[in-house]
Amino acid sequence: GQAPSREATLDAAAGAIVASRPADTRTGSGQGISSRSGKPRHHLLRATANTVHWGYFSHDLKPVLEVDSGDSVTIETLTQHASDDWARMVAGDPGAESVFHWTAERKNVNRRGAGPIDASIYGRGAGEGFGVHICTGPIAVLGAEPGDILEVRILEVHPRRCANPQFSGRAFGSNAAAWWGFHYRELLTEPKPREVVTIYELDAAPRPDQGTPFARAVYNYRWTPQRDPFGVVHPTIDYPGVPVDHSTVEENYGILKGVKIPVRPHFGLIAVAPQQDGLIDSIPPSAFGGNLDNWRVAQGASVYLPVGVPGALLSVGDPHASQGDSELCGTAIECSLTGKFQLVLHKRATLAGQPYADLTYPLVETADEWVLHGFSHANYLAEFGAHAQSKVYEKSTLDLAMRDAFIKTRRFLMTTKGLTEDEAISLISVAVDFGVTQVVDGNWGVHAIIRKALFAE
Candidate from 58-67, 124-133, 210-219, 329-338 with smallest mean pLDDT: 210-219
Q: Can you give the pLDDT at residue 15?
A: 35
> What are the residues whose beta carbons fall under 8 Å from the beta carbon of 349, sequence distance 6 or more?
none
Neighbour-count burial of 310, counting CB atoms closer than 10 A to its CB (0-12 exposed, 13-18 middle, 19+ buried): middle
pLDDT single digits (tens) 411-420: 999 999 999 9
**Spatial separation of the C-alpha atoms in residues 49 and 24, rounded to whole Å:** 16
- Please compute the mean of the pLDDT values over residues 220-224 and round it to a whole number: 98
Res 31 pLDDT > 60: no
Residue with more model confidence, 31 or 343: 343
Q: Which of 60, 130, 54, 32 is nearest to 98 (CA)?
A: 54
Res 209 pLDDT > 70: yes
Residue ranges of domains in the chain, CATH in brackets? 4-160+265-347 (2.60.120.580), 165-262 (no CATH), 369-455 (3.10.28.20)
pLDDT single digits (tens) 59-105: 999 999 999 999 999 999 999 999 999 999 999 999 999 999 999 99
CB 352 within 8 A of CB 299: no
**Spatial separation of the C-alpha atoms in residues 45 and 137, rounded to whole Å:** 8
Q: Which of 375, 343, 373, 429 is nearest to 140 (CA)?
A: 343
- The widest CA-to-CA distance across the chain, in whole angstroms, is 66
Q: Which of 328, 306, 321, 296 is nearest to 433 (CA)?
A: 296
CB 114 within 8 A of CB 55: yes
**Spatial separation of the C-alpha atoms in residues 317 and 16, rounded to whole Å:** 24
CA distances from 40 to 16, 176, 189, 310, 449 (A): 10, 40, 57, 21, 32
Confidence label for 37 from pLDDT (cuts 50, 70 and 90): low
Q: Can you give the pLDDT at residue 36?
A: 61
Candidate from 53-67, 199-213, 339-353 with smallest mean pLDDT: 199-213
Percentage of the chain beyond pLDDT 70 is 92
Q: Can you give the pLDDT at residue 379?
A: 96
CA distances from 289 to 52, 237, 274, 314, 433 (A): 18, 25, 9, 10, 21
Q: Which of 43, 14, 13 is nearest to 31 (CA)?
A: 43
The single-letter DSSP state of residue 70 is: T
One-letter amino acid at 428 equals I
Q: What is the pTM of this model?
A: 0.92
Beta bridge pairs of residue 172:
201
